[in-house]
Structure 1
């Protein structure tokens, strides 16, 4: 991308990468408001390090890593008495039209453990290698492979016959 090291370079980065970061965050947490919070938190941390980045072209990877780790850490800290509820239908975000396939997949992703979900999002949505995914999540490559295998099996279990609809055109 070639973003500069100054504030203008950061603004250029945000303008170019924000939509992709927001989609990734949504896939991680399944809630547009929480996704906005994840992205904003990652951008704050990125801005604090922006001038010290040795390779500004890797800022997207840094931001993605921060989002994934913050999301998983937030789930670990969440009180056992705290209940998470979806947005009321009258205020649901409508800026991204959902097909039946997307809705089924998102519902199935919501059934997964956070680490499984993060592995699938990074490996198959972000098209990261096993090594890149392992680095972002701080896991061994073998753990990423086994988590991906287990997560896909769980998706198939949750989706049942609907899995065929996801691959059909």
Structure 2
């Protein structure tokens, strides 16, 4: 395959899959701009290894694994590389996603995103891969490069933490409304 054909193939893949990878990135980091950075870094890695990536059976899985690896590597980096501002208003895209959802409950969607963002990186990755990407335990273990038991444990702890946070948030909301 010539270089031009390879570039065209990669460009087609990137155009088709970047929006999906961006959503996965957002669920991992909780920030659309940071998700864009994760996707950009992932696409760069994919492009440089496209000769190998083009030969794998499941290119979407390869791209997802690359995104997860970029996210986890970023989490291990120095604290000054990450600036998190939780005081800003929700992104318009978050609001648009919530409006287009089947169940229109913006408060619940924002609570879930905040609770998800509070999870440790590996728990967040396990929950996102298992329940957003709908992967099996074994597939998730392969992507996270850990055992199936570790995935089950990370997922269990992540879901437990999400339940506690969401239940306490619902109780706070009801008290605030005088219910």
TM-score of the aligned structures, taking structure 2 as reference length: 0.79
Partner of 2:135: 128
Aligned to 1:6, what secondary structure does the other structure show?
helix
What is the count of residue pairs matched by the alignment? 157
Aligned to 2:8, what secondary structure does the other structure show?
helix
Shift of 1:115: 0.6
Partner of 2:38: 38
Q: Output the CA distance in 2 between the equivalents of 1:86 and 1:23.
A: 19
User: Is the alpha carbon distance of 1:145 and 1:36 closer, same or farther for their aligned partners in structure 2, counting shifts above 3 Å?
Assistant: same
Shift of 1:101: 2.3
Unpaired segments ≥5 residues, structure 2: 99-105, 172-179
Residue 25 (structure 2) pairs with residue 25 (structure 1): yes
Shift of 1:86: 3.1
Shift of 1:56: 5.2
8 Å Cα contact 2:116/2:162 also seen in 1 = yes
Shift of 1:114: 0.7
Bigger proportion of residues as helix: 2
Shift of 1:83: 4.9
Alpha-carbon deviations, 1:15-43, whole Å to 9, x = none?
11111100000000001111000000000
Partner of 1:156: 163
Supply the RMSD in Å over aligned alpha carbons. 2.2
Partner of 2:12: 12
Question: Which segment is superposed worse, 150-159 or 70-79?
Answer: 70-79
Which of residues 91, 94, 112 in structure 1 aligns to 2:92?
94
User: Is the alpha carbon distance of 1:150 and 1:94 closer, same or farther for their aligned partners in structure 2, counting shifts above 3 Å?
Assistant: same
Alpha-carbon deviations, 1:8-67, whole Å to 9, x = none?
111111111111100000000001111000000000010111123353552221221121
- Between structure 1 and structure 2, the one with the greater Rg is 2
Unpaired segments ≥5 residues, structure 1: 164-169
Matches within 5 A, 1:75-94: 75-79=75-79, 83-86=83-86, 88-89=88-89, 92-94=90-92
